[in-house]
Homo-oligomer: A and B are copies of this chain.
């Protein structure tokens, strides 16, 4: 059905391609002017402050110029042309990003690319599509020289430098004199829950992985949180309401943030998980409330390592993992044989890949 803009019974209405008819507020339409003296096509910003538009502005009439364009006459004396296709898009409240699809060990669809494929717009957009849906991607043939993780990450967005520097080392050898560098398993966790803001996306590049074991573990916290919401709503409620102080104190830094293990927005949608048992401190609360929370935490913790949810993969030299640190928890299995395992990691923020995806999609259209 053809799009159209018309005045009906004193109200301007837009008829969408799917046949729905939406009344429009005159200011909503007026402030979308793309006239060249009101909107800079280069920097794509308005050239005036829309909050100064007279809120009682009226529409005096609409003239359909052709199938694609209508001209609206406003009571401030301006006639403004609108492309109907573009206006249709403006009436769609959803972001153009693909939806997040929760996954389990049984339903996980691998998202793998070799680095060179990301040089092509289609290859990059397809990889990003998989990343935005699953929160995870594996990039192969990245090279295994020190620092290559930064060059891979910078294809997606500026590196988020922290007090640890631009990159961090995950160098694990069997040296039991130094507890921090044992070959112990590392349980599922999210990184840096004490930071403001929490780093959005993590990269881990493999330089060497000769050891037996030392597999990377990954679990979709969104899927785990959703499973709790449906089969243990009391646990879900406790985890979304109990305040936790996440704290890092070392090397002259004292980083703290208070949050929840499962964070939901006002519509109840799961926005983020924070799970890092080494640095979490439940705020003081009455023992009865804490009893409900501690039960819930034990269920959540166990499920984040449940083989029904967890996937494992062994990184090879030149492999880079990319995962959403607000959604996935990651860890590693222990390794017992002699051997070396050396990864390097860094962070970027969510807006980098999202911007790349949107720009890639609009280039394809």
**Residues of A with Cβ closer than 8 Å to B?**
11, 22-25, 27-28, 31-32, 40, 42-53, 55, 90-93, 95-96, 157-163, 179-180, 187, 195-197, 200, 243, 245, 248-250, 252-258, 266, 277-287, 290-291, 294-295, 297-298, 300-302, 349-352, 354-355, 358-359, 362
Contact = CB atoms under 8 A, between A and B. Distances in A.
Nearest to A178: B42
Contact of A51 (B95, B297, B359): B297
A284 B195 contact: no
A47 B179 contact: yes
Contacts of A46: 277-279
A113 B85 CA distance: 54
A45 B162 contact: no
A196 B158 CA distance: 12
A355 B253 contact: yes
Nearest to A92: B284
Contact of A349 (B96, B157, B197, B350): B197
Copies in the complex: 2
Contacts of A23: 286-287
Nearest to A354: B196
Contacts of A258: 95
B290 A28 contact: yes
6 contacts: A28-B284, A47-B278, A55-B298, A195-B349, A255-B354, A266-B266
A96 B161 CA distance: 25
A282 B28 contact: yes
A266 B24 CA distance: 31
Top 10 nearest A-B pairs (CB, nearest first) are A51-B301, A158-B161, A254-B358, A25-B290, A45-B278, A25-B287, A197-B197, A49-B277, A196-B351, A196-B350
A349 to B, nearest CB: 6
B24 A287 contact: yes
Contact of A255 (B47, B92, B287, B351): B351
A93 B55 contact: no
Contacts of A96: 256
A284 B93 contact: yes
A270 to B, nearest CB: 15
Nearest to A257: B351
A354 B40 CA distance: 38
A22 B284 contact: yes
Given A55-B291, A158-B163, A255-B351, 7 more contacts: A45-B279, A51-B297, A52-B301, A55-B294, A93-B283, A197-B197, A256-B354
A163 to B, nearest CB: 7
Nearest to A95: B256
